[in-house]
Amino acid sequence: MYMTQTLHRAARLHPTKLATIYGDRRTDYGSMQDRVSRFAGALRKLGVSPGDRVGMLSLNSDRYLEYYFSVYWAGGVVNPANIRWSANEIAYSFADCDTQVLLIDDQFLPMLGAIRELAPCVKTVIHCGDAATPEGLLNYEWLIAETAPCDDAMRSGEDLAGIFYTGGTTGFPKGVMLPHRALYANGLTLVTEGIDTRRFIGLHAAPMFHLADHAFTNALAMGGGTHVMLPMFNPQAVAETIAREKVNAAMLVPTMIQMLVDAPVTHQYDLSSLEFMLYGGSPIAEAVVDRTLALMPHVKMMQAYGMTEVAPVATVLPHEFHIGEGRQKGKTRSAGRPAMICDVRIVDTNDVEVPRGTIGEVAVRGPGVMLGYWNKPKETAEAIKDGWMHTGDGGYMDDEGFVYIADRIKDMIVTGGENVYSIEVENAVAKYPGVMQCAVIGIPDDKWGEVVHVFVVPHAGASVTIEAIQEHCKAMIANYKLPRSLEIIEALPMSGAGKILKNKLREKFWAGRDRKVG
Amino acid sequence: MYMTQTLHRAARLHPTKLATIYGDRRTDYGSMQDRVSRFAGALRKLGVSPGDRVGMLSLNSDRYLEYYFSVYWAGGVVNPANIRWSANEIAYSFADCDTQVLLIDDQFLPMLGAIRELAPCVKTVIHCGDAATPEGLLNYEWLIAETAPCDDAMRSGEDLAGIFYTGGTTGFPKGVMLPHRALYANGLTLVTEGIDTRRFIGLHAAPMFHLADHAFTNALAMGGGTHVMLPMFNPQAVAETIAREKVNAAMLVPTMIQMLVDAPVTHQYDLSSLEFMLYGGSPIAEAVVDRTLALMPHVKMMQAYGMTEVAPVATVLPHEFHIGEGRQKGKTRSAGRPAMICDVRIVDTNDVEVPRGTIGEVAVRGPGVMLGYWNKPKETAEAIKDGWMHTGDGGYMDDEGFVYIADRIKDMIVTGGENVYSIEVENAVAKYPGVMQCAVIGIPDDKWGEVVHVFVVPHAGASVTIEAIQEHCKAMIANYKLPRSLEIIEALPMSGAGKILKNKLREKFWAGRDRKVG
């Protein structure tokens, strides 16, 4: 299994079919293969040897796709940078794995000085934007024009294909090493769900550095579909592009879907071509499903759950579970069932599978599982045991194999030797009439190790006491799960992605103490 | 990628769903996993170490499926014997790769003495039939009952999974070594064509030792479908089983399909459940397609072309090309287009890709390609070059990527340095009114190397001369392709599978001479 297979096949079967659309620029599969083999030749001349990392710091474009394929073709390893990170974090991700060649677009040129200072390993910089190329940088198109095509290095299987940095919010980022086999498998995830990507005109509006979009990329490439790139998400641009290019498939995250369907301007465009919408990152609110299907009744939705370490899909929730009987059975709140080529189980801290309905850690085995974290053998050994990737997500599986994600394991509270998942407690507390929002954490306790502490944002004028909450929750959760203390708070601290920052909430209780997790 | 993944997944997701139906015997996925892990434990106790071969000589049954999974689970390598071969050939296939443990059913017990004599490596014999177990043999069910489950050996990727012997008609059989990656990929071939095998109740009527059925097995296993086994093909039994078990998918070869639709008895059964019919081995006559769809208009047909060495599928022809516009464009005569995870090209003798429409050798690259032939490094090196399996089949690709198989390369005639594919000449000759059947071979010639010679079976009373044939063919084929000599023959020598035995026809011309082929 080699990542360039899809390009070889598409260029042979339909060389004149459009491979990419970016603004006014259109490239067919025959030309794309030619460009990729030339840029790969250029990378080799610049010293990229098999296994060498090549970085990318760019918004979406057709060249982002060419970058992926060219690096694979040259025998190198992709290292696409998270465009949301600071120069500091990005430089760390280049320096950590000794990335010597970097592609950068116009948008990120201003960051280049800082990055080179922090990551002096970056010796060669290729400008892949459309503005004038600054002095001292190589130009992407010149390299393609000047270089003869080279042969495909044909790296495959267990050969390293990419390092994807993840986890910037909890300490230093970790480089997830994915071999060709894992990235190829991620492309198969959609296809094995019966999604026919051959006829796809697929929109890249979510960032292409991220594996969520890369899985969509590879699924589309596998069918030899057409890729349409937008530099970044914007509801109007998405709607306008769908209408103009007759886009029929898109990968988005739930907040993007919400913005798309709620922006009045999108309703002015003809969105009737859109047939398939893949989303990931979190379950979707049922109201958003309804608004999406009201606007685009012809769309089939699919959720994919996973993480970079499993390249990235572990479970999928097909359209049928977003509506009708599937929704009535509560499946829309799940992350779906294990993808066809994946095995998923829920385990306790001794790595023993727990009964259905019991919360434990989600573990994933299959061809998508990473080789490990770059230069982090200890973290790798903790994450992968007997071939099972331990996701750090708490969740349970129902009798029909649907997986429900409850919590990050690190947010789990251990009190008197018992595991308490904060989501269970939060669900109970949230049902109390005076509670608008709440968050549960573990705070240190000399007797119990940790005890359950709840933060409550009350409705205006409501009075919420610990006694009332305990009384209210008793019928729903076991005694040891009941909050022991309560704190009224004006607003919960949130991340940019809308997640409650529990480490912020824990800070004052755990200052100077070491919290053992999981 | 490991072959047991599908079983792990199915047993976890739906343990009470039927895995196998064989006569009155029904086994669900939970029980099947239990039985497989116990039989795997028994194999280990019998000395099967990772990589050791385990033979199987049996008609189809539910235990044939358990055999495959148990050997993979134990860490062994399957070696399923061709039930059409003589004891001599079968024993060769066991002895060649030192197979020490053999499963055998009732049908083949009479052959056991001869096999053990010719293959003394076979030390342990397990009787997997339903009759009384002869003295000296182990009993399959006793072993399962007496042995505790063992852990899955989790061999995967490039680890050898099976040796499949092929090519008995041309010298000694060769052992095709297929790793887990290749067999897993063969299961993906159907799935990537959008065939939803999750809801399949699939019929095994074609022999399960063969990779054609094994690909169907693995595709079905991937979706966690239900397998229905018949000991062997028989039109009435197939029809009766379809009706009784509501079979909705089947893998057959064209002659079986023809027998099924032409047997009056099958018309008495309710075949309305059947939705999908996979066939392989050869293109199908359009008349047979018509009769099939007349009897079962609800059926979708799909052809798969390949060979054991590519595990086995290279190209697929979906239903739409059996009817309507697809058929009018002549696609039904093709072997279809490269499967999604395959790359196929047509090359000349220098391994350079030829233009579309030009006949050359079909070469295949992808995850299905074998590791090589067991203990035959020379033959392996000749077959696989730069990752491309050279199939030995002559064919061409049209502008839309459809592959047409013309000839075995060894049947190609080289005359005056030009390549002549016998099928081209045969197609031209066959259009002459007096010709009922014909076959073209190359015969030695001092000046041209070889010249074209044609055997003709004339219609009763017809006169067919070489001059008339030359005159007739001139308008259709180039001068150097014209037959130079003609021989009237009563009947063409045929193999059991209905193929013309050209080596028989060549015999008298080439006695004592060395024919250079390809």
Are residues B114 and B206 both part of a single domain?
yes
Are residues B421 and B389 both part of a single domain?
no
CB-based contact (8 Å) between A158 and chain B?
A: yes
Cβ–Cβ gap B191/A196 under 8 Å: no
Which residues in chain A have their CB less than 8 angstroms from residue B33's CB? none
Cβ–Cβ gap A340/B158 under 8 Å: no
Q: Which of B8, B192, B401 sits opposite A191 (nearest CB)?
A: B192
Treating both helix axes as pointing N-terminal to C-terminal, what angle do A211-223 and A5-13 enclose, rounded to 10 degrees? 40
**Could you please report the per-residue DSSP string of A171-182?**
SS-EEEEEEHHH
Q: CB–CB of B202/B250 below 8 Å?
A: yes
CATH code: domain of residue A90: 3.40.50.980
Are residues B366 and B432 both part of a single domain?
no
Name beta bridge partners: B488.
B456
CATH code: domain of residue B377: 3.40.50.12780
Are residues B325 and B453 both part of a single domain?
no
Query: A96, A123, A155 — which closes off a domain?
Result: A155
The dihedral sign for the CA sequence A320, A322, A326, A328: negative
Name beta bridge partners: B21.
B26, B228
In angstroms, the CA B342 to CA B344 distance is 6
* Closest among A178, A211, A212, A216 to A197, alpha carbons compared: A216
- Return the DSSP state at B401: S
Residue A85: predicted pLDDT:
85
Are residues B190 and B286 both part of a single domain?
yes
Residue A376: exposure state from Cβ atoms within 10 A (0-12, 13-18, ≥19): middle
Cβ–Cβ gap A196/B192 under 8 Å: no
Query: B363, B394, B425 — which closes off a domain?
Result: B394
Q: Is residue B403 part of a domain?
A: no
Q: Is residue A93 part of a domain?
A: yes
Are residues B498 and B376 both part of a single domain?
no
- Return the DSSP state at A272: T
Are residues B349 and B424 both part of a single domain?
no
Number of domains in chain B: 2
CA distances from A248 to A7, A191, A227 (A): 21, 16, 11
Q: Is residue B52 part of a domain?
A: yes
Residues A235-286 have pLDDT tens digits of 999 999 999 999 999 999 888 898 899 899 999 999 999 999 999 876 677 8
Count how many pairs of residues, chain A against chain B, have C-beta atoms within 8 Å: 83
Q: Is residue A129 part of a domain?
A: yes
Q: Is residue A182 part of a domain?
A: no
Quick check: ipTM above 0.85? no
**Whole-structure pTM value:** 0.86
Residue A297: exposure state from Cβ atoms within 10 A (0-12, 13-18, ≥19): exposed
Distance from CA of B339 to the nearest CA of A (A): 9
Residue B501: exposure state from Cβ atoms within 10 A (0-12, 13-18, ≥19): middle
CATH code: domain of residue A461: 3.30.300.30
Query: A121, A155, A189 — which closes off a domain?
Result: A155
Are residues B501 and B361 both part of a single domain?
no
CB-based contact (8 Å) between A343 and chain B?
A: yes
Look at strands A138-139 and A124-127 and give their pairing.
parallel
Are residues B357 and B428 both part of a single domain?
no
Q: Give, for all 518 residues of chain B, the pLDDT tens digit.
A: 899 999 999 999 999 999 999 999 999 999 999 999 999 999 999 999 999 999 999 999 999 999 999 999 999 999 999 998 889 889 999 999 999 999 999 999 999 999 999 999 999 999 999 999 999 999 999 999 999 999 999 999 999 999 999 874 456 789 999 999 999 998 998 899 888 999 999 999 999 999 989 999 999 999 999 999 999 999 999 999 999 999 999 999 888 898 899 899 999 999 999 999 999 876 677 888 999 999 999 999 999 999 999 998 999 999 999 999 999 998 988 999 999 999 999 999 899 999 999 989 999 999 999 999 999 999 999 999 999 999 989 899 999 999 998 877 778 888 888 888 887 888 889 889 999 889 999 999 988 889 999 999 999 999 999 999 999 999 888 899 999 999 999 998 876 556 778 888 998 998 888 776 54
Q: Is residue A287 part of a domain?
A: no
Are residues B302 and B447 both part of a single domain?
no
- CB neighbours of residue B131 within 10 Å: 10
Are residues B352 and B456 both part of a single domain?
no
Q: What residue has token string 């019966």? A: A194
The dihedral sign for the CA sequence B399, B401, B402, B407: positive
Which residues in chain B have their CB less than 8 angstroms from residue A368's CB? none
CB-based contact (8 Å) between B341 and chain A?
A: yes
Q: Is residue A117 part of a domain?
A: yes
Which residues in chain B have their CB less than 8 angstroms from residue A401's CB? 12-14
In angstroms, the CA A397 to CA A405 distance is 9
Are residues B381 and B424 both part of a single domain?
no
Q: CB–CB of A485/A443 below 8 Å?
A: yes
Q: Which residues contact A280 (CB under 8 A, 6 or more apart)?
A: A212, A251, A253, A303, A304, A305, A306, A312, A313
Q: Is residue B404 part of a domain?
A: no
Q: CB–CB of B126/B143 below 8 Å?
A: yes
Phi, psi dihedrals of residue B301, rounded to the nearest 5°:
-100, 150
| Containing structural domain, residue B420 | 414-510
Q: Which residues contact B487 (CB under 8 A, 6 or more apart)?
A: B453, B454, B455, B456
Low-confidence ranges of chain A (pLDDT < 70): 168-171, 282-283, 495-499, 516-518
